[in-house]
Amino acid sequence: MPSELPLFLDCDPGIDDALALGYLLCQDDVDISGIAASGGNVATAQVVANAQGWLELAGRTDIPIHAGQSLPLAWTASERGPQTAVPAGAEHELVEPDGAEPEYADLTHGPNGAGYAHLPAPSVPTSSVSAAQAWVDAARTHPGELIGVVIGPATNLALALDLDPELPRLMRRLFIMGGAFNYRGNTHPTTEWNVTFDPESTARVLSAFDPSHSGGAPDHLPVIAPIEATEALEMTPGRLKAILGCASAPDNGTHRSDAPLPVVGRSAAGRNRWDDWLTQMAEALRFYFEFHEWDGLGYIAHIHDPFVLACALEWAREHRRRATSAAVDDSAPTNNPIPNGTRGTLPWAETICAPVDIELTGTLTRGETVADWLGRWGKEANAEIIRTIDAQLFLDHLGETLSKGPHHEHDI
């Protein structure tokens, strides 16, 4: 099948980010324009090495990886790289001590961000193009078609908007994993990790993609998948065992109808390579299970990121001409405002549209995502927020996809 869906992925691997990468490699109709990797779960250099390692393990060194910004937007100008602007309203820059680094999620993902997995050293260098410039190049190469997915902090996309403010009108749609709306956080009491790491960047992105700016563009509201929805996605040892067992099943023609199906459509070498990939993913997940158990959640793992990527791709396949997935009149012009509270559906999910902003100054709530459910701000909806997910249906889909593994022209 020829590639149809141009996609740019911004991530910070991270264990569930790695699962999302694995899911992406299994899609045969996606043109991967590039992968941006920058600090979040671990520092930028390690995130880049992890992205390279997971792709190296899968035999996909053809996919360009773009190193992203090392620090969040709100660090001092001397510590930030060039062309790093603090968004309007956030001029209170956080001044950090010389030599300090942001707080990372190594407790959650392991010191190297890959749990117990052992990843190979990269055999090819990263792209010489920065992550921010790569966002711009991908959107300019695929105007009106590019699907953007952010499953880490939004730093690179915020910087890309400084390079090219036209990005919201060039992209087909943006999907963001992040935030916690009226929900206990997984970082601070009311905040989620991706937004907390760089709240100014998320605020910058939401402002730029707000349809009230630039005459009602873009056509499609950004999608936000917050943790109160994505925490329903629990990987369990049983599901992982099923994935591993199915992927490793021999194709000897003797399996029962109720036994795991063998991997088909790949060479023996391809099966072995994907089995190796899954083996290391299982080692990463073992660490993730242990963290969640330590955190009082049981021997499970919340796998937020693969859902957001899968939702974006399935939406792109199913909703090629609709202005939004929300239940509005499709005959109306696509740049008409979406009323606050409009309900809709996305693949495996139900949604509500609302105005969203980020708390940047609260001493207890900095990084909190705030939705104006009641319309007190008098603003139009600027995001479609996922509220519930059919977790079992999606997890079944994810397991089946990973079990089968890649089966297209880049067969590993």
Spatial separation of the C-alpha atoms in residues 334 and 297, rounded to whole Å: 43
* Token pair belonging to 68: 């992203």
Q: Of 303, 273, 272, 278, nearest to 288 (Cα)?
A: 303
The confidence score (pLDDT) of residue 332 equals 42
Task: For residue 313, count CB atoms less than 10 angstroms from its CB and return exposed for 0-12, middle for 13-18, buried for 19 or more.
Answer: buried
What is the rounded distance in angstroms from the CA atom of residue 74 to the CA atom of residue 87? Answer: 9
pLDDT number for residue 253: 35
Three-state DSSP class for residue 343: strand
Task: Provide the token pair at 126.
Answer: 């990263």
pLDDT at 320: 66
Residue matched to tokens 């009323």:
339
Query: What residues of the chain score a pLDDT lower than 50?
Result: 1-2, 76-78, 80-99, 217, 249-266, 328-333, 411-412
* Burial class of residue 285, CB neighbours in 10 A (0-12, 13-18, 19+): buried
**Do residues 151 and 309 make contact, with C-beta atoms less than 8 angstroms apart?**
yes
Residues 349 and 229: beta-carbon distance below 8 Å: yes
What angle do the packed helices 199-208 and 155-163 form, to 10 degrees? 50
Q: What is the DSSP string of 19-45?
A: HHHHHHHT-SSEEEEEEEE-SSSS-HH
What's the pLDDT score for residue 356? 98
In which region does residue 192 sit, left (phi positive, over 0), alpha (psi from -120 to 50) or beta (all else)?
Answer: beta
Residue 105: which of 156, 47, 21 has the closest Cα?
47
Domains of the chain as residue ranges with CATH? 5-234+300-386 (3.90.245.10)
Per-residue pLDDT, 264: 40
Q: In terms of Cα–Cα distance, which of 134, 122, 131 is closest to 6? A: 134
Q: CB-based contacts of 85: which residues, under 8 Å, 6+ apart?
A: 73, 159, 162
Look at strands 356-358 and 301-302 and give their pairing.
Answer: unpaired
Among 34, 19, 225, smallest CA distance to 109 is for 19
Q: Which of 156, 125, 132 is nearest to 40 (CA)?
A: 156
- The beta strand positions in 131-288, using DSSP E, are 146-150, 171-177, 223-225, 234-235
Q: Are 155 and 72 in contact (CB under 8 A)?
A: yes
Q: Are 300 and 232 in contact (CB under 8 A)?
A: no
Distance in angstroms (rounded) separating the CA atoms of residues 405 and 412 = 9
CB 58 within 8 A of CB 407: no
Look at residues 78, 10, 9, 12 and name the one whose alpha carbon lies nearest to residue 44. 12
pLDDT digits (tens, 9 = 90+) for 202-235: 999 999 999 876 555 457 899 999 999 999 999 9
- Considering only CA atoms, which of 378, 321, 335 is closest in space to residue 172? 321
DSSP per-residue codes, 41-56: SS-HHHHHHHHHHHHH
Distance CA 410, CA 2 (A): 12
Structure-token pair, residue 131: 């992550």
What's the CA gap between 53 and 65, in Å, rounded?
11
Task: Give the residue among 167, 121, 160 at the shortest CA–CA distance from 38.
Answer: 160
3 state DSSP class of 7 = strand
